[in-house]
Structure 1
Amino acid sequence: MSDKKLLLNLYWHMHQPDYRDLVTGEFVLPWTYLHALKDYSDMAFHLEQNPNARVTFNFVPILVEQLEDYAEQSRSGQWRDPLLRLLANPNLENITDEECRLIVDSCFKAHHEKMLSPFPHYQRLLKLYELVAPIMQNGQFHYLSAQYKADLLVWYHLAWTGESLRRKNKTVQTLMQKGVLFTLEDRQALLDVISETLQGILPRYQALLKKGRIEMTTTPYYHPILPLLIDLESARDAMPDAPLPQSATYPDGYPRAIAHVQAAQRYHEKIFGQPANGMWPAEGAVSHPALSLLAEQGVAWAATGQGVLANSLRKLGLPHDTPSQYLYQPYKITNGQQDIVCFFRDDHLSDKIGFEYSKQYASEAVHDFIQSLEHILANSEETPVVSVILDGENAWEYYPYNGYYFLHELYQALAQHPDIQMTTFSDILALQQKQALPAPRLLDDICAGSWVYGTFSTWIGEPAKNRAWDLLCEAKRHYDQQIHQLSAEQKQKCQQQLALCEGSDWFWWFGDYNSAQSVQSFDQLYRRNLSNLYKLLGLTAPAHLLQPISLGGGDAENAGTMRRGNA
């Protein structure tokens, strides 16, 4: 390139596990549609409002599948999500105790400082609940009136609307101004907004992609940790002394990994009209066999964490003391036949967005981010390629106004900066092919790990996590014994259920460092999913699946929804 610039890859990862009970078809947890209202909507909005910004989005297939499901529910009006069904219920007087419990258990689940405290009417509902909670514990859920429940349902959904909806949508503005005594007509109007938003999410990203404004990538279908599916022992590459599950290996893990990758590629092309050039392996989890698998499946590039690169360079005896020595360039990994280019996350900058900038004024945070990039550029001999990669949905509830001012000012400052070019990962590959950038550096080996600490410690190596793996391995052995006896339709349902159980999220939540409430809901859903697999196989689920795997009880930063790249 004629003038040295810093090339910035901003990469927003969007993911929710499958919250459906595949036996009943019911949604068990509401997080997919709530994040659609708040985060997937707002993140599209910021790109629509800043035509010179350029970023990459990663949408996990099972998230996209659920978004499609919700869009179809909204078109038919047949809600299979219990909270949305209650919001639509014309008569809240006669709902069951279980439905009453669902309302009061669910409708205060939001970051109170940023999503509840700003709204006096919502605060009042919380204070009323706290006054009568002792009575509620005795099962007298109807002590709270139907009007209270209607107001709580409305405010919960209003609190989960994105800032773009609050600024643009007249219905949302009217309901927030009204504040109390919401009628059935009010609830129906809010449902119309929710329906319109859910139906519009994927078309908005499809339009941005078609205009060339963004790159879209995918992840193995149900978000499994590929290296651990392939080889549980790979955890010891970065954690030599880690205790592992009793099961020595996950049965037929390599073909299972291939199935997730191939299914993701097919589904992504179906939804977005073009294949994904790159992939964010679930949790940025890589190993040499996993990257070789991706290369063999036609994936041109992948991304992972800075810790993985530092561990790999340490393993190879190469310099890794300061990021300026090694971080700001892509690397090529080869198995001798196929190559894949790997990009590595700048943990410091990514974690600043995820954890630090929410505590600062937007202008101060953006200034600090720009200064950090300028410092990298000033200390680089060649064109630095900086990859900032993080969760694109959970960070914003800790920001004022859902990160509205931060993202607006960030995109504006980056797009206007004379020495910073917003790019995508495929842009970098194209520049290298044109020889406008140096070829990626060869990395002879890679230390297996993830974007969190460069290890797999978030998913294996702790008693509850290992227990969860043993339960999955046990279920997989039963699956292998039974699957050949089933009809084609039964096989398809069992394969889907197994894939769901292989996702990374269940293992993420097990451990005492996460809150008891969050651990309980994911623990129950994981055991329910394993039990459903046995049921679909025509077997009786083991009695030990009735026992909790983990109790939690900690207070992880940002409610456990995100982790820092470095401990």
Structure 2
Amino acid sequence: MKHVHVCFLWHMHQPYYTDPVAGSASMPWVRLHATKAYYDMAYLLEKFPGVSATFNFTPSLLLQLEEIGTGKILDLFLEHAQRPAANLTLEEKAFLVRHFFSANWATMVRPYPRYHELLVKRGLDVPGHDLHRVARQFSTQELLDLQVWHNLAWFGYGTVQQYPRLAALRQKNRGFTEDDKQEVLDLQRLAVREIIPLYRRLLERGQVELTTTPFYHPILPLVIDTDINRRARPDLPLPARFHAPEDAAAQLQQAVAYHQSTFGQAPTGLWPSEGSVCPEMLPLIHQTGLRWFATDEGILARSLGMCGRPWHRQAALYQPYRIGEPEHALTVLFRDREISDAFGFVYHKTTPESAAEDVLRRLRGIVHDTPQEKIVIPIILDGENPWEHYHDGGEQFLSLLYEAFTNHELDHNGQVLVQASTMSDAMTAVQPTQQLPCLHSGSWINSDYKIWIGHYEDNRGWDLLGHTRTQLVNIAQSLPPDRAQAAWQELYAAEGSDWFWWYGDDFDTDFKPEFDRLFRTHLRNVWTHMGIPPPDQLNVPICTRAIASESDSVQQPLVLLNPTIDGIVTDFFEWRGAGNINTQPPLGAMWKADGLFTAIQFGWTSGQLVMRFDPDETSTTRQGLDVDIRLQGPQCTFRLTFALTSPGPEAFILSRQTQADAWQEIGSYRSIKAHTILELAVPWKELCLEQGNTIQMSIIVREHGLEVARYPGHHPAVLTVPGPEFEAELWRV
């Protein structure tokens, strides 16, 4: 009989937004996520006592929940929400108009008529210089309604069911009073205060395991030694060497101590920040009393390669390993990347029923294909950000999934027994049988640390951090103990990964300058505690890059092309000057590895639309992938479909849209070839196009019928059929 343990680990994290010197916080995300995901996830799980799970809380988040719950710290957004609408200054009104629509518009604004009405009045994109003019157009009642809705929309299904008054206020919709607003804010603080007791109750009855992360969520290998980055990415430029293993140990020790004081039990497991690991961490982890950690399957694949062992995913992934020297041996588990990423990036695009069934389908496949009799399937992901993209916060999807485990739907004829377990319970039941003699140095993102080091902005941050730390080391012994401790805490906060997440060109957010300011604020506070004026360089923003616009993801072709459609790069010049769709556009707080295409190019010949897809090396092993290219022209909409099969599709199907969801097949075309790349061509005339026409193009990739990728990410690419002066116009000065 096969015994299978499915281990959900939900990671809850926010960086330390609090400025202890000022006694305030600038960002609202701890408070807002608290009334949604932090509360919802425990509230829902409690309804399914037969389902166990692991929750990872970063201490920096727990500390802020305490600060907010006790009223010790108010964030800037809350201060603006509390202000009577009739007393708002023009600057405060502009702040509301700019920031109080900070939510997922599709799932948290549009469903509420009044909130959506206010968004439409403001406009979808208001330039900063226009905010005062727009703010003047909002009446006092509209501003009051906006204050209420910004907070009311962030309550999740758990809090709404727990506090019926919230549903009544949503039903009221408009015309809120100051008393209504205060009631919303009071319930918000009450929910924040109930979160830790709620998880502690689940812990005490054995339904959950609670684990930790280094205190301020640093990339621990880089804190130990930034030169460790050379192991995974020797090509990246590095800052002046930052080498602080003592800080790494302190981040771990303080995390374990704070976790124990918060929940009454010391943690035994660790989710390293961003799954980042290196061999030097192992004794530090063991010294704190932790006994296991987890990271990504990419780390396992590369670790086995370092040891000269082959990577057979199905046989290698779904089991615990022993790692480290005997005197500080640990157990390590590796997350299933495909299922974990699907929760964050795929399942919100389909129905809850389809999403739950797809999880079960994947799990059945793993159970069937894995040779071991005892199997552990770790599903590890962000536990807060994905649910904003689900129209009901993920309630129905997770309920169906938990019901499936409760009803033993994955069990099979007495031959398979499947249960949802905590990580520690699974490792107790399934003891590691293999020693992992090597550990690759990297994170869960591309198995390296590039997100946090190597770009000019990242490296500038590390240099400022190192300079500040050197000064603190030199002076700490002469400081009063309380000031020395405060200085070190601010330095540890500056070591957090989130500041470096937003540096460089990997990710974008409207709040990028604020993350930059917060990083430099923590460093300035170190100098303040040392009694030394902060250096002027800490007043200079590190971020210099403007936020990328949507159009940056598409580059238009520069010349007419004449490629040979043969599935190989016939010569260097055949696609030179082609248009390009960025397959890895800047993202936000979450990251996804598509593993599909490294490049998508397109262009025109004298009579055809031609396209080229460069597959990622991992995409060739995935099953059930289909490509759907939508082309909306001036007369009608077409779609071009083919399967991403191996060795490659022999033809694509061209269809014309006849009704909203109805398509009429036009024919099968063999002008598609795949070998090292995939190339295809379709005549303009088949698309009812003429010179000068514009079309909108979206490329959708589905896996077993579920959308897993879309290019461009948010809006279709706009293409223009070239006329006789196409190249001449592009070269005109």
How has the CA–CA distance of structure 1 residues 28 and 444 changed in structure 2, closer, same or farther, with 3 Å as cutoff? Answer: same
How has the CA–CA distance of structure 1 residues 438 and 492 changed in structure 2, closer, same or farther, with 3 Å as cutoff? Answer: closer
**Is the deviation greater in 167-176 or in 255-264?**
167-176
> Are 1:411 and 2:402 counterparts?
yes
Aligned residues: 551
> How far is 1:296 from its partner?
2.5
> How far is 1:440 from its partner?
3.6
Distance 1:363 1:261 in 2: 41
SS of residue matched to 1:507: helix
Distance 1:205 1:119 in 2: 30
The equivalent position to 2:174 in structure 1, one of 180, 196, 216, is 180
> How far is 1:559 from its partner?
4.7
Please say if residues 320 and 431 of structure 2, whose CA atoms lie closer than 8 Å, have aligned partners that are also in contact.
no
Q: Structure 1-normalised TM-score?
A: 0.93
Distance 2:298 2:98 in 1: 38
> How far is 1:239 from its partner?
1.6
> Are 1:86 and 2:80 counterparts?
yes
Distance 2:594 2:300 in 1: 13
Aligned match of 2:339:
349
Distance 1:240 1:558 in 2: 23
**Equivalent residues in 2 for 1:161-172, closer than 5 Å:** 161-172=155-166
Please say if residues 370 and 414 of structure 1, whose CA atoms lie closer than 8 Å, have aligned partners that are also in contact.
no
Aligned match of 1:434:
none
Task: Write the letter of the residue equivalent to 1:236.
Answer: R
Distance 1:427 1:132 in 2: 49
Distance 2:131 2:302 in 1: 54
> Are 1:394 and 2:385 counterparts?
yes
**Equivalent residues in 2 for 1:289-368, closer than 5 Å:** 289-320=280-311, 322-368=312-358
Output the aligned Cα RMSD: 2.0
Aligned match of 1:562:
590
How has the CA–CA distance of structure 1 residues 145 and 132 changed in structure 2, closer, same or farther, with 3 Å as cutoff? Answer: farther
How has the CA–CA distance of structure 1 residues 280 and 233 changed in structure 2, closer, same or farther, with 3 Å as cutoff? Answer: same
Unaligned runs of 5+ in 1: 432-436
**Equivalent residues in 2 for 1:42-81, closer than 5 Å:** 42-73=40-71, 80-81=74-75
Aligned match of 2:495:
502
> How far is 1:193 from its partner?
1.3
The equivalent position to 2:117 in structure 1, one of 105, 119, 124, is 124
The equivalent position to 1:266 in structure 2, one of 245, 250, 257, is 257
Distance 1:329 1:438 in 2: 9
The answer to which structure has the higher helix fraction is 1
Distance 2:387 2:155 in 1: 12
Task: Write the letter of the residue equivalent to 1:394.
Answer: N
How has the CA–CA distance of structure 1 residues 222 and 135 changed in structure 2, closer, same or farther, with 3 Å as cutoff? Answer: closer
Please say if residues 339 and 379 of structure 2, whose CA atoms lie closer than 8 Å, have aligned partners that are also in contact.
yes
Distance 2:138 2:433 in 1: 63
Task: Write the letter of the residue equivalent to 2:299.
Answer: V
Q: Percent identity at matched positions?
A: 37
> How far is 1:271 from its partner?
0.8
Please say if residues 79 and 85 of structure 1, whose CA atoms lie closer than 8 Å, have aligned partners that are also in contact.
no
Q: For residues 27-76 of structure 1, what are the alpha-carbon distances to aligned partners after superposition, in whole Å with 9 as ceiling and x for unaligned?
A: 11000010001110110111111111100000111100110111101xxx
> Are 1:101 and 2:77 counterparts?
no
How has the CA–CA distance of structure 1 residues 516 and 215 changed in structure 2, closer, same or farther, with 3 Å as cutoff? Answer: closer
**Equivalent residues in 2 for 1:213-224, closer than 5 Å:** 213-224=207-218
Task: Write the letter of the residue equivalent to 1:537.
Answer: M
How has the CA–CA distance of structure 1 residues 51 and 28 changed in structure 2, closer, same or farther, with 3 Å as cutoff? Answer: same
Aligned match of 2:154:
160
How has the CA–CA distance of structure 1 residues 84 and 248 changed in structure 2, closer, same or farther, with 3 Å as cutoff? Answer: closer
Task: Write the letter of the residue equivalent to 1:339.
Answer: A
Please say if residues 6 and 373 of structure 1, whose CA atoms lie closer than 8 Å, have aligned partners that are also in contact.
no
Unaligned runs of 5+ in 2: 412-416, 551-583, 596-733
The answer to which structure has the higher strand fraction is 2
Distance 1:453 1:414 in 2: 32
Distance 1:338 1:30 in 2: 40
How has the CA–CA distance of structure 1 residues 87 and 143 changed in structure 2, closer, same or farther, with 3 Å as cutoff? Answer: same
Larger radius of gyration: 2
Q: For residues 364-395 of structure 1, what are the alpha-carbon distances to aligned partners after superposition, in whole Å with 9 as ceiling and x for unaligned?
A: 11111111111111112212211110000000
> How far is 1:552 from its partner?
5.1
Distance 2:258 2:125 in 1: 48
Q: For residues 525-562 of structure 1, what are the alpha-carbon distances to aligned partners after superposition, in whole Å with 9 as ceiling and x for unaligned?
A: 11222222222222222222233222352477795111
Distance 1:509 1:153 in 2: 28
How has the CA–CA distance of structure 1 residues 287 and 131 changed in structure 2, closer, same or farther, with 3 Å as cutoff? Answer: closer
Higher normalized contact order (CA 8 Å, seq sep 6+, divided by chain length): 1
Aligned match of 2:510:
517
> Are 1:275 and 2:275 counterparts?
no
> How far is 1:16 from its partner?
0.3
Aligned match of 2:233:
239
Task: Write the letter of the residue equivalent to 1:273.
Answer: G
Task: Write the letter of the residue equivalent to 1:130.
Answer: G
> Are 1:288 and 2:297 counterparts?
no
**Is the deviation greater in 484-493 or in 384-393?**
484-493
> How far is 1:288 from its partner?
0.6
The equivalent position to 1:137 in structure 2, one of 115, 120, 130, is 130
Distance 1:152 1:139 in 2: 16
Please say if residues 516 and 542 of structure 2, whose CA atoms lie closer than 8 Å, have aligned partners that are also in contact.
yes
Task: Write the letter of the residue equivalent to 2:344.
Answer: G
Please say if residues 114 and 400 of structure 1, whose CA atoms lie closer than 8 Å, have aligned partners that are also in contact.
yes
Aligned match of 1:210:
204
Task: Write the letter of the residue equivalent to 1:349.
Answer: I
Aligned match of 2:424:
426
